[in-house]
């Protein structure tokens, strides 16, 4: 049974630019997006910045209206029944936003318990439960301003669970968290999924999506460019291989030469601090490592390796491949 149904949803904004305020520009944030999410499923929305992930979450949590199409959460229409949806979903931000720094974690939770209509008699028990669930019990009387990012993020999740919603929206929950904190967060999300919550997760981290999500939709420029299980998405590129080179001062004509090689599916360049990572996805049995090295003649090559594709490669090919 579908808990979330999104049917041909679009959303555009008007922004004003320049000193002449009447110069309006239309930004198409989400274009004709459709998907469904079943009960108990963990569904990932992946895509680069500006791909439309947060806009979709905002529409599903009733903060924004779709400009076209329709969406239903737990059978309620996001446009005409916002109150019904708000009572039944939890919305968790990532990053430093969304908490009252000057208050203790306990006061934050008490306040949001009021906003979400948790009965006064049940509040103490519920707050103790969610604090325990996110491993913040014992630290609840400290001011949030003294919390680490990982603790804040876990407190966000506790806040989102106060009213025991069957559906949870997690918008980049692991952004800016150290690896240990991120691992703890994944364990928490995994436990929630095991408890039967339907989870919609946006993230930039492939390993996170790979570990947590039953299905993933990859977004580019507001549209879904691929949808399926992590295994499905990986299989799209698994028949080839990836040549990965770390280089310095990569000339543009080298990229053009590599793109022209027979058997190349996509070429992507990612900038590091002092180097660039060149990712070349090739067709099966193309064995292009030597030819690619030839195209890079005259360029300082730090390393060059050939490996099997990962989910990240599938993602890169779908959203950034050229």
Contact in structure between 149 and 117 (CB atoms under 8 Å): no
Q: Please select the residue that binds another protein; options are 31, 53, 58, 234, rule is CB under 8 A.
A: 58
* Choice between 13 and 207, CB closer to another protein: 13
User: CB under 8 Å to 210, separation ≥6 — which residues?
Assistant: 230, 311
Site for another protein in 147-186 (CB under 8 A): 159
63 binds another protein (CB under 8 A): yes
CB of 203 to another protein, least distance (A): 16
Contact in structure between 46 and 315 (CB atoms under 8 Å): yes
Structure tokens at 55: 């806009």
CB neighbour class for 273 (10 Å; exposed up to 12, middle 13-18, buried from 19):
exposed
* Choice between 43 and 112, CB closer to another protein: 112
* Choice between 83 and 179, CB closer to another protein: 83
* Choice between 131 and 242, CB closer to another protein: 131
CB of 61 to another protein, least distance (A): 5
* Choice between 12 and 183, CB closer to another protein: 12
CA angle 300–301–307, rounded 5-degree value = 165
d(CA 200, CA 40): 10
207 binds another protein (CB under 8 A): no
* Choice between 107 and 164, CB closer to another protein: 107
CB of 160 to another protein, least distance (A): 9
Q: Roughly how many angstroms between the first and final C-alpha of the chain, as a whole number?
A: 38
124 binds another protein (CB under 8 A): no
Strands 223-228 and 215-220: antiparallel
Letters for 76-115 (x = contact with another protein by CB under 8 A, - = none) are: ------xx--xx---x-x--xxxxxxxx---x--xxx-xx
Structure tokens at 88: 């039944």
Number of neighbouring beta carbons within 10 Å of residue 98: 18
In the complex, the residues that contact another protein under the rule CB under 8 A are: 13-14, 54, 58, 61-65, 82-83, 86-87, 91, 93, 96-103, 107, 110-112, 114-117, 120, 159
């Amino acid at each position: 049974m579908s808990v979330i149904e999104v049917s041909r949803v679009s959303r555009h904004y008007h922004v004003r630019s320049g000193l002449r305020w009447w110069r309006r520009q239309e930004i198409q944030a989400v274009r004709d997006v459709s998907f469904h999410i079943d009960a108990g499923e963990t569904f990932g929305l992946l895509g680069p910045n500006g791909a439309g992930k947060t806009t979709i979450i905002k529409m599903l949590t009733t903060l924004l209206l779709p400009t076209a199409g329709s969406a239903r959460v737990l059978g309620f229409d996001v446009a005409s029944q916002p109150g019904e949806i708000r009572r039944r979903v939890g919305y968790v931000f990532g990053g430093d936003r969304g908490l009252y720094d000057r208050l203790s974690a306990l006061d934050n939770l008490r306040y949001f318990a009021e906003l979400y209509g948790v009965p006064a008699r049940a509040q103490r028990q519920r707050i103790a439960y969610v604090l325990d669930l996110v491993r913040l019990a014992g630290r609840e009387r400290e001011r949030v301003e003294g919390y680490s990012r990982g603790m804040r993020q876990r407190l966000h999740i506790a806040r989102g669970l106060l009213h025991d919603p069957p559906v949870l929206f997690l918008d980049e929950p692991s952004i800016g968290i150290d690896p240990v904190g991120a691992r703890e967060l994944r364990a928490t999300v995994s436990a929630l999924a095991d408890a039967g919550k339907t989870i919609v997760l946006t993230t930039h981290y492939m390993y996170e999506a790979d570990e947590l999500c039953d299905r993933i939709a990859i977004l580019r420029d507001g549209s879904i460019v691929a949808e399926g299980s992590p295994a499905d998405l990986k299989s799209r590129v698994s028949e080839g291989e990836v040549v990965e080179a770390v280089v310095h001062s990569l000339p543009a004509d080298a990229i053009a030469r590599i793109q022209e090689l027979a058997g190349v599916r996509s070429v992507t360049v990612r900038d590091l601090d002092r180097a660039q990572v060149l990712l070349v996805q090739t067709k099966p049995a193309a064995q292009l490592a030597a030819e690619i090295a030839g195209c890079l003649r005259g360029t300082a090559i730090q390393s060059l390796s050939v490996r099997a594709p990962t989910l990240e490669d599938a993602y890169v090919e779908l959203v950034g491949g050229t």
